Structure formats: C-alpha cells, structure tokens
Chains A and B, each alone.
Chain A
C-alpha cells in the first residue's frame, strides 16, 4: 500500500493506483475528458492536471501513479487556472457553439466541465476551421467539428472492441477522426457496435435515431439485458414517454463492460416489423380480430395431439409454463446447442464449461466451428481485442469465418468432422511432447490428416500454439460438434485436459438456450402425425426452415410479437410483448441468471409470453406451478448455473 495526501486528506491506496483513482477513492472529484474508467489511461486532454509537491510542473492525474508520501493538491489557483486554460484551448479549436448541438444541456462532458469551472465565456474565439460532416453511416453521424481529440472512440474501437476501424489523420489541432484510411464511415470496416458513439464525450458522434429525442434528464433508464444471443449483455433501455430513445451498454457490467453489438444496440430501434396488437382467429378462411377468450378456446379445442415448439427468446418463466402445458414440447432449437453438452455433463456428473471472463486472461484461443464475428459478436470482441497482446488464435471452421483472417493457424476441414480435428490436435500435442495423453500420436495424426484433408504441419502449428500457451481458452459451438455425436464432447474434454485449461466456453443459440435445456425442452420433435401445432415464437422472427416445416399443418397456433409469414398462415395468433415490454429471466451461456426488465408498456391487448401461456393453461385446464427457478438446477448442465 502507498500512503499519500490529497488536498490534506491522508489516504492509503494500492501501489500502481493513479492519482485520479486515488482521489476518487478519497471522494475528491478531479474533472476529466479523455479519461474513461473502461479505457487505459491516456493523458491526452490535460484537464485533470494537479499540483504535486516537488514536481516542476502540473501533472496529469489520470496517468500519474501514486508514490509514498506524495502530496497532491487538486483545487489550487494554479490548478483551476490551468483547467480553464485547457478548456479555453479546446473550445478555440472547433465549432463548439452549444445552442445547436444535440448533447447541449447536460449530456456534454465538455460543456459540463466548463460549467464546473464557472466559465461564462470563451477567452479565445474559435479559429473557424470546418470539417465535412460524415453522415454515410446508417446508425450514426460523425461531426469532426464537435470533436475534442480525446480519442476515446479510437481507443474504445481498439482496446474494447478490437476492431481498429477508427483512427486520426493529421497532427495536433488539425487532427481529425477517420475510419480506416479516410473512407466514409458507412463504407468502412465499422461493424456498427456503437461503442464509439456511447463513449464520445461531446456531440462529435451522435446516433441518428436518438439525436434530439431526449436528454439525460428527460429520459427514463431501465436496467435490462440483451436477448439477441446467448451472451446476454447487460444494457440500459432509455425511454421517453413510452418511446424507445436509445439502448446503451452498461459500463459497470462485469459481463460486457459497456459493449454491445449492432443487434443489441441498434436493431431494436431500427426494427419496423409490423406488430400484432390483437388476437386473431381464422374465420371463413381469413384471419379476423378476436378476443383473447375466443383465441384461447380455439387452441384449447385442438389440444389433443398438439405438437408444441417454443422460442429460446422466451423468459425462463414462460418456458417453464410452456413445459408444464406441453410435456412433449421442445424448443425451436430442439437442443442443437445444448443437448449433447447436457448429456455429457450428466455422464461425467458435473458441469465443465467456464465463463467468458476467462477470455480476458487467455493467451491463446481455439475457436471451434463458431463464427464469432457474426453470431456472438461481443464474445468475438473479447477475442479480437486480445490479439494485439500477441495472443494466439487457432480457428477451426469448414465454413466461411471472418476470424480466419486474424488467425495464426486456420484449420479448415474439407471433410470429416470437428471431432477428427480435435483428435488430430491432441495427437499433434503428443507428438510434440506437449501432452502425455496415452495414444499412438503418429497413427491418430495420420488418420486425422486423411479424414479432414488438413496437413500434418498445420495440426502441429496449431498444437504448438495451444500447447505452449499458459492460459489457452477454447470457444466452441455445439451445433457443429454435435454432428459427430457424443464423442465430440469426449474429444473436446480430452483436448482441454491435454492443454490443461479450464477455460472451455460453449456458445449457445438463443438467449435462453440453457434454461430451455434445463427444462428438457431440448429434444428433436417431429411435426408429422400431428394435426395441430402451437408455436410460442415470442419476439423471435420465424426462420424460413420453420415456415416450410409447418407448411400443410391443419391447425397452426402462433404466439408472436410480430406479424410474419408464419402468423399469416396461422389459424390462431396470440399477440405478445417483445423483450422490452416484459419482465423475465434468462440464463446466459455462462449459466448466469439475469433479468430482462419491462421498459415500455405495450398495446392494450398485448400480453407477456408468461401471461399468454398461463391463460392458455387455464383454457386447457392445466394447472401450473411457479417453480421455474428451482427447476433450472434440477439437472446437471454443461455450464454451472448460478440461480
């Protein structure tokens, strides 16, 4: 521990703490602009300068580590004068006129900093250099005229997302933000995660949908989670007068640290899919508005021999109600991402998957059959951002995978299965003397080479990376691994053991894949032979495959938030809330139980998935219990569930 004095307050902080954080711990606020708690200290803006006894000049608090017996003063004349000077220079660089800026009035960190210093005017007027506004991006606008060159966006794009799209051109006050090598933002390598927009302290990056729709003081914030994939990023839903204004990642969240992807941040507000607002029942060949009672009765009348499918977008509460109503029902995934993992966990009697935080300390990744850039984007960010630290990346994927261009070794099996690749890797490890697994390395490796068409050298390169790493992590997608059946997990587990890593992360399907699996909604289901089918879609958009599968079913009932090809074909449609309009719990791929919360009140006749299913149970004469939470842990799962 280090002892120091800040503004006559004697404090003790761990070694390596910056003066800024030490002051924060002591309850002393030092203004900042370029600093952000989720980014590495940068020391660019100089607003946080403090007086340090013995130092010749003022020192930036954000980058200066504390030392023993240090004496710091944060509010002297000299410091306050320097802050005003720094702000004066920043204001003089660009167009920082407030009246026509979207963030003016509380949301601008620059304006707030000036207020904090009691600045009533700019001692230096702007230099009137102007920059073209880049409005080429579909979700946000870049206005370099509002930029203060703090580079938070550039650092977030690199440090947090690992995408490295943003950068600066020119030097000093002439610097300006560019995408790639100066292409329009909309044509750049930007992946639309929106982290730069959320982290921008001024109005230089503003998003199109929320701009001018409500300032911080005018909006309500609801803590919730994203249900776009099985990562379950923590986010805040910002609403005003029951309208969605914006979605922001939660900076404090241990899981995603403020990160979201395009699906979580922008798609919900861009979505214009037609909503269903009243129950529908087919009469004389056409779907007609009906009452809930009529609609529920119509389904209850067909309950004999009813096949039922539920989306893994549904909350645990709704899935559990569904399970109790339809004993033979399954999820729309039918266990593709979970069934074998659960079976393997049952066989070995324990959970074996770990959580995503392992990715932050890993020094080598093995990504198996999962397109992280597309399907679990935030997990992909965790991988991509680690690569600058010389972290190894081995990608195994027979299909197109955007991670391959970043990989050190790519294993692209032209034939065979993931299991053959895993066996080949294990044999290569043994051959290199990096594992003592008891197998005939030469023979297994030759077999793997033959089965997969991957060269022995590639296997050896990958094995060398994995075997010499001190904290390798494996990310895999069960849907791919499952092709070879149960042996897949054995092979995976053997490899994890060989490279001595507990970091095995199974990426799942929908937001509640794990809960559905725990409720045994994970078996393949046959539609044939069923006269009637009930699909609890919730806010999932039906796949073409599902629509084709349900072609020709004589009675189809769909519970859905959105109008779709499937609801158009249905005989009964129950209108339900989407994820923002209802409370519910989700178990993410790490087994973490999280709550999604209602932020928006839906249309009058729209019910939550849980309410709809409970009403259906009543209409069908099925009694339900609310043990959804206890039921989550009644069976061993691939990943330990914290419920």
Chain B
C-alpha cells in the first residue's frame, strides 16, 4: 500500500500551530512512517504536488488575496482539507482587526506603531496582494476536518494526522476538543 501524501501550508497565523506540530517530537517519525510528508513551510518543498495529495493542512485565517490563492490551491490539490488551529477554524487573533477598517489596521501597524519612525508608511506597491476581511478557512473553501486550539496540542495534531494517515476520520470530542 502506498503511504497517503500529506501537505501543509500557512496563511494568516503565527506559525504556532506548525510549532505545535513539531512538538510531537519523536512521534513525527511515526507520522512519517505512516504518511508521506510532502510540501510544508518547514520542509524544502513549498507547494503541494500538482498531482495532488491525500491530506492538506492549513494553518491561519485568510486576510488577503495571497492567502486566498494558497487556500484555493490546497483545496484543489487535496482530498481531505484540515483547518488547523483557531485562526484557520474561526479567524483567531488576526480576525480582531475585523472590528476596525483595513485602513485603520494598516495605519496602526505601519505608521502609528511605537517602533516606527516618522518615515513609516502603508505599503502600496501594485504587486502586493490586496488586504480584506479576515476570514476562517471555511468561509473561502470547504473544510472537512476542523481542529481548533491556539495552538492545538501536539497530542491532538498527532491523533488527527495518524487517524487520517490510516484512512480514518478523526473525531474531536472530550479531551481532544479545545478552542483555547
């Protein structure tokens, strides 16, 4: 039997969920034995195989056209899509900017932030992606498995990946269900 292919990517998040994935420690070896770990932000291959993967994992919410592209690409190329972490599931911390306008958020970050000097200005290169409302992944593409948590525990990620690698659908309930 060929090992199921797993790929991951990140969008509007803090990389914490991928850190938590690494916190599986030696169990990463077990996951690699069960699955063929392909493109991830922490491996050399950066984009999921064009030929497709079995499981796609997305960390982070979607706050601009670049994120949208990443989400659509992953959705198109994977059979089962996992939204990993509170940002991917709900929008998370970045979604707090939805209580303000994009303009206000950008000004705060690039002009008003205490660490900026007077030359601070909002980036406006035409090649840059366009910012929008921060959305959960399921608002943009259909999601099959939701794994909330900020970040989800390494134990939970291990459970989810090992179940998917063995062709089962993970069920998050009881101890495994945390929104943080």
Contacts and interface: CB of A to CB of B under 8 A. Distances in A.
Contact of A130 (B99, B143, B148, B180): B99
B146 A99 contact: no
A121 B173 contact: no
Interface stretch (B69-77, B86-94, B114-122): B86-94
Interface in A497-540: none
B96 interface: yes
Contacts of A111: 179
B105 interface: no
B37 interface: no
Interface stretch (B22-30, B43-51, B124-132, B134-142): B134-142
Given A118-B172, A122-B136, A125-B136, 20 more contacts: A95-B99, A97-B90, A97-B91, A98-B180, A99-B86, A99-B150, A99-B179, A104-B180, A105-B180, A111-B179, A115-B173, A118-B171, A118-B177, A120-B148, A120-B177, A121-B83, A121-B89, A125-B91, A128-B99, A130-B99
Interface of chain A, main secondary structure: loop
A115 B99 contact: no
A458 to B, nearest CB: 57
A467 to B, nearest CB: 60
Given A120-B146, A128-B98, A104 B91 contact: no
Contacts of B178: 105
Contacts of B93: 97, 99-100
A289 interface: no
Interface residues of A, number: 18
A121 B91 contact: no
A504 to B, nearest CB: 54
A97 B95 contact: yes
Given A104-B180, A115-B177, A121 B96 contact: no
7 contacts: A97-B95, A104-B180, A118-B172, A118-B173, A120-B146, A125-B136, A128-B99
Give the size range of B's interface with the partner.
Answer: 20 to 34
Nearest to B100: A130
Interface string B141-180: 0010011101000000000000000000001110001111
Contacts of A126: 98
Q: Which of A98, A114, A120 has the most CB of B within 10 A?
A: A120
Contact of A98 (B83, B146, B147, B179): B179
Q: Which of A104, A105, A114, A122 has the most CB of B within 10 A?
A: A122
Contact of A120 (B95, B139, B172, B180): B172
Interface string A83-107: 0000000000001011110001100
Interface string A113-145: 011001011100110101000000000000000
Interface of A: 95, 97-100, 104-105, 111, 114-115, 118, 120-122, 125-126, 128, 130
Contacts of B148: 120-121
A125 B139 contact: yes
Contacts of A100: 93
Nearest to A129: B99
B24 to A, nearest CB: 20
B169 to A, nearest CB: 12
Contacts of A130: 99
Given A98-B86, A120-B146, A121-B89, A104 B99 contact: no
Contacts of B135: 125
B101 to A, nearest CB: 11
A283 B178 CA distance: 62
Contacts of B139: 125
